[in-house]
Amino acid sequence: MWIISNMEDCIVNTDHVADIYCIGTDVVALIANAASKSTVVLGRYNGSDQSRCALNYLFRNLQEPWKCNKNVTNAIDRGNESSG
């Protein structure tokens, strides 16, 4: 499966990803088998709550890749509407 960053500046093949995690407002992928520890920012959000929401969305949808697309932003927006 491929993931395009929400900034649309990179595409990552999940076959080469060791871990995906949050660092503050960013969702970051650690690339496996890289000569050095290489990371890629998959998403940059307005707050750590949004980045954790995006990470959760990726986790839930990696098993069903046809569902995982640019709807991450829509899911975050819906979450913000229900919480505020």
| Structure confidence by residue, pLDDT tens digits, 6-56 | 888 989 888 888 899 999 999 999 988 767 778 999 999 999 999 999 999
Q: pTM score, two decimals?
A: 0.71
Is the pLDDT at 62 greater than 70, yes or no? yes
Task: Return the closest-CA partner of residue 26 out of 48, 7, 9.
Answer: 48
Is the pLDDT at 72 greater than 80, yes or no? no
Question: What band does 75 get if pLDDT is binned at 50, 70 and 90?
Answer: low
Write out the two tokens for 11. Answer: 């595409």
DSSP 35: S
Residues constituting the chain: 84
